[in-house]
Chain A
Amino acid sequence: MSVRPATFKWVWVSDVRRGLVKRGSLWGFAILGASLLAVALTATASGGEQETSRVPLPHPEIANPGKCVADTEYMRKHHMDVLLRHRDETVHEGIRTKRYSLTNCIDCHASRKNNSVLGTKENFCQACHSYAAVKVDCFECHSSKPEATAGAVFHPIVPSGAKAGPASADQGLALSMQQHMRNGLAATANKNPGGESR
């Protein structure tokens, strides 16, 4: 019906951004809170997770240690940025890489106790967010539970510089986990041996 100008895509992109800017103040607070949190956590980390001061610190349960898609320091500071970016790419462009996908984060970080990233002050997301009093909006719509994985805990992304185990073993593990995920996800068998997802 309507004739789109050639620059429609850009108009549209700016529309999307505008939608986000409306929440700018909220994000500002979120980022401030997260930075404070990052400082607090960095202090703990360098103190070898020991509470050397009388300040109580959050104790998130790490279900699968040492396997994150990026450095802990980076994720503490920037997880909201990478999630936001990935969210727009996924919803609008259909890019469904596993790295930085919220579903993937939840699959790996859900507690072994209650199968969720929320629930108690030890659950991965809730631990720090309640500590820093930063409201986490994701779970008003998104499930806080992993996709049905029949109890198998896996992580499709293991960075090449991961510390746990030799690199080759890691890669094999990553591939088998990927396979596992695909089998669970799609009935069509996906034979893609070199297929490292981003």
Chain B
Amino acid sequence: MSEVNTSRRQFLGWGTAAMAGLAIAPGVTLIDLAHGKPDDQPVSSKVRWGMLIDANQCHSGCSDCVTACNKENGLSGGTGPDDSQWIRKMDLKDTHSGRVMSLPMMCQHCGNPPCTDVCPTGASFKRADGIVLVDRHICIGCRYCMMACPYKARSFVAHPVTDQKPGRPRGIGTVEACTMCVERVDAGLKPACVDACAAAGHEAIIFGDLNDPNSDISKRIAEYTTKQVRADLGLDTGVRYQGV
């Protein structure tokens, strides 16, 4: 009897494994396209979220991505030394030719983030899917990460914050930066800046999975020359630039 049970179990085991193997590939694609991962599943390193910014498409006068970011995350929109800026628009001028290009700069979501290396508390961390975040429950506001970041991507909240947007916590004494709109990404949406840029008709920011060779972003990176800002640092940034 026990022998029968054993083999039956084994058979069932193989069956399940085979089924899982079949189901995973199409299932994952479907989920990714429709509504992100299931709520009760942890993020996985099978995915690496990234963005490609095409400086040729980005318009010098436009700052819709910045506005969208501020609105999405409840930032004041101020640009003073005490104001949080998660994304900045920059115009770069070639002094020889006079050519001006425009591009947004934000947290580059490094594969080897220096901010997490220096953080003494473990508050700076990289999620399995490549999004670099600050756990503001743990952050002590020492600002080492701000020193370590080569992109000046992080801001310190120096004053009490009131009237935060529900679901977008921000508070005094902690460091914050672009979260790649992690709440939206987990819900299967794109970051607010990406949608805003597309709505403005520029489509200068492409968001997607760098690990998936069939994603728009991977195809573009395979086809065109793209750059990582300060590639010499070997940080393996998740945000890439084209046309710079």
Measured CA separation A81–B40 after assembly (Å):
19
Does A168 touch B at the CB level, under 8 Å? no
Does B177 touch A at the CB level, under 8 Å? no
**Smallest Cβ distance from B41 to chain A, in angstroms?**
7
User: For chain B, what secondary structure do more than half of its interface residues adopt (helix, strand, loop), or is it mixed?
Assistant: loop
Binary flags per residue of A111-149, CB closer than 8 Å to B gives 1, else 0:
000000000000000000000000000001111011110
**Smallest Cβ distance from A101 to chain B, in angstroms?**
9
| A141 x B122 contact (CB < 8 A) | no
Known pairs A1-B234, A1-B235; A96 contacts B169 (CB<8 A): no
Query: Hey, which chain A residues are within 8 Å of B171, CB to CB?
Result: 140-141
B 17-43 contacts with A by CB, 8 A: 34-35, 37, 39-43
Does B133 touch A at the CB level, under 8 Å? yes
Does A73 touch B at the CB level, under 8 Å? no
Measured CA separation A91–B41 after assembly (Å):
13
User: For chain A, what secondary structure do more than half of its interface residues adopt (helix, strand, loop), or is it mixed?
Assistant: loop
Does B198 touch A at the CB level, under 8 Å? no
One of B138, B163, B166, B234 near A16 (C-beta < 8 A): B138
9 contacts between A and B (CB under 8 A): A19-B122, A19-B123, A96-B186, A103-B167, A141-B161, A143-B165, A143-B168, A147-B166, A186-B189
Interface residues on A, range: 35 or more
B residues with CB within 8 A of A: 34-35, 37, 39-43, 112, 114, 117, 121-123, 125, 127-129, 133, 135-138, 160-161, 163-172, 174, 182-183, 186-189, 234-235
| A94 x B127 contact (CB < 8 A) | yes
| B40 x A12 contact (CB < 8 A) | no
Closest residue of chain B to A138, judged by CB? B169
Does A2 touch B at the CB level, under 8 Å? yes
One of B35, B43, B172, B235 near A186 (C-beta < 8 A): B35
Known pairs A103-B166, A141-B169; A18 contacts B122 (CB<8 A): yes
| B166 x A19 contact (CB < 8 A) | no
